[in-house]
Amino acid sequence: MRGFLVRWLINIAAMILVINIVPGIHSEGRLATIMAALVLGLINATLRPIVFALTLPLTILSFGIFTLLMNGFFFYLVSKIVEGFVIDDFSAAFWGALCFSVVSFLLNLFIGPQGRFKVYRYDGRNGPQDRNVIDVDAEVEDVDEKEKDGKK
């Protein structure tokens, strides 16, 4: 439940950003924005996988570009379902869906499966190490000096 709420908040933040950036997308209030984010999340969770499976050959033939059009269609569909959330034309829906996808992807990078924030910490002493890397700063013994010492 926590993960759902965190992802919904991310969708709301992405929707607010899209409304402020993309011309042709308007919201008549906070409730319309919140409901648009909820409806878009529900459409992406339920309807999108079915439509994606049915249009997979077309998606493959278009090298994935059809997926962008499908996302724009779902974004436009949300404007028809939610009162107060208005998209002027399909072009605005396309660009809005693209911006929404990028913003929500970037924000979701920091969220784990249970809705917890991921924190990556690197400690130089105990951090990840690859044993196959040559350390450039390591001290190198002179091979000629070793051979001379060995011969003496």
Q: Is the pLDDT of residue 5 over 70?
A: yes
Are the beta carbons of 93 and 78 closer than 8 angstroms?
no
56 contact partners, CB below 8 Å, separation of at least 6: none
What confidence score (pLDDT) does residue 110 get?
78
Q: Report the percentage of the chain scoring pLDDT > 70.
A: 73
pLDDT digits (tens, 9 = 90+) for 24-83: 999 999 999 999 999 999 999 999 999 999 999 999 999 989 999 999 999 999 999 999
- Kindly indicate the confidence band of residue 147, based on its pLDDT and cuts at 50, 70 and 90: low
pTM of the complete model: 0.71
Q: What is the mean pLDDT of the chain?
A: 83
How far is residue 10 from each of residues 24, 101, 109, measured CA to CA in Å?
A: 22, 11, 11
What confidence score (pLDDT) does residue 148 get?
59
- Write the DSSP string, 59-117: HHHTTTHHHHHHHHHHHHHHHHHSTTEEE-SHHHHHHHHHHHHHHHHHHHTTB-TTSPB
- Kindly indicate the confidence band of residue 118, based on its pLDDT and cuts at 50, 70 and 90: low
Q: Is the pLDDT of residue 95 over 90?
A: yes
